[in-house]
Amino acid sequence: MKTIHINCDLGEGGEHDQELMPLISACNIACGGHAGTLETMQHTVDLAMEHGVEIGAHPSYPDKENFGRSSVQMSDKELKRSLVAQILSLKHITEAEGAILTHVKPHGALYNEAQKDRRVAGIIIESILEFGDELVLYAPENSVISHLAEGKLKVRFEAFADRNYNHDGSLVSRKEANALITQKEDVLKHLFSMIFEEKITTQKGQKIDTGATTFCLHSDTPNSVEILQYLHTELGAKNVKISRG
């Protein structure tokens, strides 16, 4: 049986974390930048441990007002200090519970900028390296950050099951009406293409090669629980299993 790896951004104040956690392989926990408090981090870590789900940090620009989805002008030192503090806060909680922090996935504007901006990408990598080189970086393929991380960090290439793509491999902006894929059948079709054809189908029907080994479904996508339950059923019928941890 083929296995695939599904990750989900949790601890962001959504209503369905408890229902989503048993359905995924890894969670990326908001750690105070765009969302999250010490209490929500603790709760999400406990949920992840209960269900054997990998625990990762999901740091962002410190901007809860815009949910980390807008760029924030910060000096290199300020941004690094913020990112290190966010990761450290979750790492402390995770290790205090006897679990391990496995990975880091930047959030929102930080993630998108690191795809093309060497300065932002470099600061993220430096921040992660403050904790050594064992934390895995989740990043897009052929991105500036994935190239800069070569030889420094392990990188797990990520693609999005519930987002549309442009021809250059970037995500369609959330300002556009078709940014999200919300119908479960369409998510499945999009995911099938990436799993079995190793191709991402863009919004205009073009095909882009992909070697992604983790696929994200957002917790704030409408019907996210229903979509994941549907994926488990339909993938299982194709002899594909969503891995646990």
205 in the Ramachandran plot: left (φ > 0), alpha (ψ -120 to 50) or beta? left
User: Count of domains in the chain?
Assistant: 1
Q: What is the pLDDT of residue 152?
A: 98
pTM of the model: 0.96
Arithmetic mean of pLDDT, 225-236: 97
Question: What range does the domain containing 99 cover?
Answer: 2-242
Do 157 and 212 form a contact (C-beta atoms < 8 A)? yes
Q: What is the pLDDT of residue 245?
A: 64
pLDDT in tens, 41-95: 999 999 999 999 999 999 999 999 999 999 999 999 999 999 999 999 999 999 9
CATH code of the domain covering residue 227:
3.20.20.370
Q: What is the pLDDT of residue 222?
A: 84
- CA distance to 114, 134, 151, 212, per residue, from 148 (Å): 10, 16, 8, 18
Arithmetic mean of pLDDT, 196-207: 95
d(CA 85, CA 132): 15
Q: What torsion, rounded to 10 degrees, do the Cα atoms 214, 215, 216, 217 define? A: -140
